[in-house]
Structure 1
Amino acid sequence: MSDLQKTFAKSRLAKLPPEVPVNYDPSDKMNPEAYNEHPEDDSSSASSTSSTGTIVPSTSQKLFERGSGARSRLNFAATPWEDYFETELFLEDDVDDLRIIHHVYLSSPSGSGPLFVTHHGAGSSGLSFATCAAEIRRSLPDAGVLSIDARDHGLTTTQNADKTQQAKLDLTLGTLSRDFVYIINKTKEKMKWTSVPPLVLVGHSLGGAVVTDVAKGGELGSNVLAYAVLDVVEANSLPSYLSKILGSAIDALQTMETYLSMRPASFPSLASGIEWHTRSRTIRNTSSARASVQGLLREEPQAEGSDTVGAWKWRTDLASTKPFWENWFTGLSKKFLEARGGKLLLLAGTDRLDKELIIGQMQGKYQLQVFPEAGHFIHEDQPVKTAQILVDFYKRNDRSALILPPKVSEMLASKNGAQKWGLK
């Protein structure tokens, strides 16, 4: 290449825009794009897809090796829960021989606003809905959000009445549903509300099975306006990033140990745990990971006399929940279609629909929304979109917005009304 050609090429390259980092994480949280690493209108083949785009790293990959350029400057520090909720509550519960302290995050509704009650998936915590909760209140300021830590998850603790014995793990669907109803009623009592606000129940994965079971059981009565289930159906109850590896349907749950064996047992710091969730694309949104991962991990104290720093380990032992996996999802599709109230199903891909749900969707029994650009954690990967859909879903099911015709008794009680209708 001649000197003239080199000079011309350099001048052209200098005019090109700078390269945007792959995992750009804006610090301005008022900007909706701060919650989305990929633009929401990106339809290119390079975008995240529900299944094939998810990477499950092997143990040999150097996920904590410092990169170069903009990637190494990403902020993986945890953000405080106070950025997303108004308060936290610890609700005491004595049941059978157990002493349970339920932990929840709460932003109270105002006026006649609804209360979105969220239940996370297995191994997760109430902070899984942190960024989505903030977006719900941004879109609907009168709304409240109650995000729970399920039994033996997050900061919820379970202790045997006999403190010398360890409490037996009980995560059956019936137990989790009972806890869910108790927490709502206890929150009403703790906050001194005159009545339970209009409820929109939202559950992700395992949480979807819980809210469906509660809606079907009817213990909350007419307070439940509607319920939403995020990325779980009976015929393919595995997260998207597992289904391609382990297969589909309930039978595949028995091989979940394969995934657990690939996951790090601990992390040297909380920031490294956040980084792993982001770079492995378990959570595809850095802002969401910074809010939620702290609910998944706890710091183990440094061993006495040891110079090594304490490790951050998982709060919930997912392997120990194996006896409950089939119980969670059996009969889910049928219950989802039969329970009273508005129904919303959010999926990361239509390949998760089973025959019952396909027929129900064709009959208009529920609303279906597909997020092909998101992974299993739809509400974390796309909190702005998820929140807007949930708010619109509430508005369609808001009974206070309905204008009903007057009752016959009311017309008879009104002289003018009776004359108008020719009854006098």
Structure 2
Amino acid sequence: MSDLQKAFAKSKLGGYPVNPPVPFNEVEEEEEEIEALGDLPVDDDSSSASSASSASSTGTIIPSSNHNLFARPQGSPNRRTLDQIPWTTYFERELFLKSTKDAGTITYHAYLTSPVGTGPLFVTHHGAGSSGLSFAVVASEIRKKLPSAGILSLDARGHGSTKITPVPEKLDLSLERLSEDLVSVIDNTKTQMDWKEMPPLVLIGHSLGGAVVTDVAKSGRLGNAVLGYAVLDVVEGSAIDALQSMHTYLSTRPPGFTSLQSGIEWHVRSRTIRNSVSARTSVPSLLTHNAESKGSGAWTWRTNLAATQPFWEGWFVGLSNKFLSARGGKLLLLAGTDRLDKELTIGQMQGKYALQVFPEAGHFIHEDLPEKTAMVIVDFYRRNDRSTLVLPPKVSDLLRAGKKV
């Protein structure tokens, strides 16, 4: 290079700063902080949070123009947080609905965000051993996509904060009783909220909850208010087959945890719930604190699933037939096509219901992939929304108006 070329290059490059190599430990800290961003309720992406091995983790994330992707999070620790997220993050209020039955009083506990105007009310029923907060994150995603929507998510008897006084010797968790409870919660909510009429209803149930909402839809006890119902990852044939291994599954669960954080961590590490934000929201309601115990017995399971064995088969027998024959739109969300039994396979080929499969999700589809689940549910509602139907005018109205028919 000539002296003239060297002088020219020096004048051009002299204004640029020289960046020293970043120390390895600082790179580690930045990676940990970026990882922590994924656990914040606002920024968590359900598809990437499910697992590194899932198909969804290969998707491209495009940041919006108003976000500084590499900004250091304010007050965020340099480690993954497992702190509880309160229910107030997702719902407007909690309800305590009293009902007197069989010489006892049951106080149903539910979470509610009221519909706006003529918006629909999505009524959710969780699976066995879970709680109403199982639907918390997906509820917020539904509201993002349909701001007029309301969400009513109850705790079934023996679950969450629903209480029965006096405490019965044997808890009745039969399908008939759970269906009565769901109808009672919906009716009592309408009364307590002073709604003049029942909003359009979309019933959503996961696992056991799917059997309950299907039974209610089949019974017709809610009349024409039900636009449709969605069942999440439960099919009669595979559910009954899975009951054979229920005791094996229950024996693998820890009997208790030292803290709420360790309970949340177990659900995430075991991939029972693959979305850490949903786990931080729903898992605390599954556990109860025992002040007299220490160590692994400080937090134990709120619901004794083993004691519900007498009702297991009754929950699912006849489910496929009821699902196909009940009035209203029908939606089935599964984590794999292998879960379809013969009756539902034939029904799907005949176009009797809508089917969506999420192979990258586990059993808790709505918790693992809340954004995708919400998108499917909102689209399902819009396809069944009667208010958008434009009916032709009646002949009598045309004649009265003096028009020729």
The separation in 2 between residues aligned to 1:191 and 1:227, in whole angstroms, is 23
Asked whether the equivalents of residues 27 and 34 of structure 1 are also in contact (C-alpha less than 8 Å), the reply is: no
The separation in 1 between residues aligned to 2:147 and 2:382, in whole angstroms, is 13
How far off is 1:252 after superposition? Answer: 4.1
How far off is 1:173 after superposition? Answer: 0.3
SS at match of 2:55: coil
Aligned position for 1:55:
none
Corresponding letter in the other structure for 1:122: A
Aligned position for 1:288:
278
The separation in 2 between residues aligned to 1:40 and 1:321, in whole angstroms, is 35
The structure-2 alpha-carbon separation of the partners of 1:20 and 1:90, relative to structure 1 and needing over 3 Å to count, comes to same
* From 232, 240, 260, the counterpart of 1:270: 260
Asked whether the equivalents of residues 172 and 324 of structure 1 are also in contact (C-alpha less than 8 Å), the reply is: yes
How far off is 1:310 after superposition? Answer: 6.5
Q: TM-score if structure 1 supplies the norm length?
A: 0.81
Corresponding letter in the other structure for 2:362: G
Aligned position for 1:64:
none
SS at match of 2:323: helix
How far off is 1:33 after superposition? Answer: 1.4
Asked whether the equivalents of residues 135 and 384 of structure 1 are also in contact (C-alpha less than 8 Å), the reply is: yes
Asked whether the equivalents of residues 256 and 297 of structure 2 are also in contact (C-alpha less than 8 Å), the reply is: no
Q: How does 1:77-156 map to 2 (within 5 A)?
A: 77-156=83-162
* From 375, 383, 386, the counterpart of 1:388: 375
Q: How does 1:46-85 map to 2 (within 5 A)?
A: 73-85=79-91
Corresponding letter in the other structure for 1:221: G
Asked whether the equivalents of residues 296 and 316 of structure 1 are also in contact (C-alpha less than 8 Å), the reply is: yes
Aligned position for 1:195:
197
The structure-2 alpha-carbon separation of the partners of 1:353 and 1:317, relative to structure 1 and needing over 3 Å to count, comes to same
The separation in 1 between residues aligned to 2:112 and 2:52, in whole angstroms, is 28
Aligned position for 1:348:
335
The separation in 2 between residues aligned to 1:291 and 1:87, in whole angstroms, is 16
SS at match of 1:99: strand
Aligned position for 1:379:
366
* From 296, 300, 303, the counterpart of 1:313: 300
Percent identity, aligned pairs only, is 60
How far off is 1:202 after superposition? Answer: 0.2
The separation in 2 between residues aligned to 1:192 and 1:204, in whole angstroms, is 28
In structure 2, the gaps of 5 or more residues are 1-20, 60-76
Aligned position for 2:384:
397
Corresponding letter in the other structure for 1:205: S
Deviations 1:49-100 (A, max 9, x none): xxxxxxxxxxxxxxxxxxxxxx992111110000000000000010112210
How far off is 1:411 after superposition? Answer: 1.6
SS at match of 2:107: strand
Corresponding letter in the other structure for 2:45: E
In structure 1, the gaps of 5 or more residues are 1-10, 48-70, 238-249
- Please state if 1:43 is matched with 2:43: no
- Please state if 1:357 is matched with 2:344: yes
SS at match of 1:256: helix
Corresponding letter in the other structure for 1:413: R
The structure-2 alpha-carbon separation of the partners of 1:125 and 1:340, relative to structure 1 and needing over 3 Å to count, comes to same
Corresponding letter in the other structure for 1:87: R
Asked whether the equivalents of residues 25 and 286 of structure 1 are also in contact (C-alpha less than 8 Å), the reply is: no
Aligned position for 1:406:
393
Deviations 1:195-242 (A, max 9, x none): 1100000000000000000000000010000100000000101xxxxx
Aligned position for 2:7:
none
- Please state if 1:175 is matched with 2:181: no
The separation in 2 between residues aligned to 1:45 and 1:134, in whole angstroms, is 22
* From 249, 252, 255, the counterpart of 2:245: 255
The separation in 2 between residues aligned to 1:32 and 1:309, in whole angstroms, is 30
